[in-house]
Amino acid sequence: MHGLIFFYIQKFAESTALDSASWTTIRSSVATGTDRYLPSGTYPDEDAVHLLQSIAESTGHSLPAVLERFGRFLAPHLVKVAGKYVDPGWRTLDLIEHTESIIHAMIRATNPGALPPVLETVRPSPDELQLVYSSQRQLCPLALGLMHGIADHYHERLEVEEPSCMHRGDPFCSFEVRCVAHDTHASDESLAETTEVTIGAEPGRAAAAFPGDTAPTTIGGYAVLRMLGQGGMGRVYLARDERLRRDVAIKVLHPSKARDPAATRRFLREGRTAAAVDHPHVMAIHQVGEERGLPYIVMQRLVGCTLKQARQAEGRLALAEILRIGRETSEGLAAAHRLGLVHRDIKPDNIFLQEPGRQVRIIDFGLARAGDEDGLDVTVEGSVVGTPAYMSPERIAGGHLDAASDLFSLGVILYEQLADRLPFEGTSLVSMLAAISRGEPVDLRSAAPHVPEPVASLVMRLIAHDKSARPADASAVAAEIAALERAAST
């Protein structure tokens, strides 16, 4: 756990009217031999829990109550420390929504080996937020206190429900957060205020940017023609490779993300990972580099649409085309899996149907991971990063991910294409994840009686809760679909 937390544990202990002798006694309750916790250091999680447990025993309160009180105490201090990462226009739910990226930007910059939590958030409305995490630390009372403490900072009031909790035996903890009161007359504290704590030097990577909203004229020697699109991670430009006389697409990381070394590594890893897979059903990567401090990836320019867009425009596709798309996706995954790469985010948005012929190209290896890239797990402990509807049960539970997880996601896609519904449904992020965790999908033949039994059998095996019950590998799935295609054509 980051040393900054230990620094504030002592401040919290002092604020509870414990004298210095009491703090010395509390400090002696942990096993770590260090005499002083440095804000820039990293210390065992157990030390923090033991310190808070000792505070609880000294004050006569339960550990969950002390964790929540500490979170509420800690939050305003962390908001100040994170000042340069916080948009001045944000309020409570905005900051909670962006907490994961802020934590990574702050902690990863000074301690690349740290394991901060990864949170999944959904914002159904401006005054409502849903949050899920599956950290083995199981410090949900602390998270609850932090949220209320952030609200205190912004002079707002929250209502928080916890539909699932690992302490109650659930596979993850979740919160449904609503902002129910705003004090618009209260004056906000300056987020730029200097505090007594620094967690390290400025991040080494400058937040360079192309001036204004005008597209750059060149990136990495490629002539930029126009912007194709933009999202939370950055922008994609159409450019011209004059040497080979072909158009390319260039993805550039957003300047705010480039401040975070972990985000930059994740972005460049996407390019290196995808470039390693040479297969007709995986998008080709031509180059990875940096321009004015911003990393970029030069990709094959694809013309067509995603599987999601095709379904939205055309409705349910013909069985033959669904089978072909499933086979080609399996073939592309098999090529990645043979290199030890797991995509980890297979979904309709990441299956591109390239014209002419709508040939499958798997895109966006941003969450892909090899066995050991550089000793750093980009998605880290406790992660549920990905798209909830297509997540495997083992991803939700924070377990080990392998090729079987990609096959589960492919099975969900095929089920959705065949039945016009998902096998696991819910009205919220939490209920969706809970349905997948329970592993009780509606049988495909019940949901879509028109689907041939052999096809339905394959799909149901792909979405089996126990990954050992899924097909052996993507190559086997491709071969089985090919046999189904031959049977359907006779």
DSSP assignments along 233-264, one per residue: SEEEEEEEETTTTEEEEEEEE-HHHHTSHHHH
Dihedral sign of CA atoms 270, 272, 273, 277 in order: positive
Task: Please tell me whether the peptide bond between 356 and the residue prior to it is cis, using omega within 30 degrees of 0.
Answer: yes
Give me the sheet containing 359-362, strands edge to edge: 304-306, 351-354, 359-362
- Residue 299 is encoded by which pair of tokens? 């990709």
Structure tokens at 202: 């400025």
The letter for the amino acid at 86 is V
Tracing tokens 């937020």 back to the chain, one arrives at 129
Name the residue among 373, 385, 371, 362 with its Cα closest to residue 342. 371
Cα-based torsion angle of the residue sequence 262, 263, 267, 273 in order, rounded to the nearest 10 degrees: 40
345: annotated active-site residue: yes
Angle between helices 99-110 and 261-275 in degrees, nearest 10: 90
Q: Are 413 and 310 in contact (CB under 8 A)?
A: no
Active-site residue identified among 345, 364, 406, 473: 345
Q: Which amino acid is at 455?
A: V
CA atoms within 13 A on the CB side of 45: 9
If phi > 0 it is left, if psi is from -120 to 50 it is alpha, else beta; for residue 234 that is left
CA distance 464 to 139: 31
Positions annotated as catalytic residues are: 345
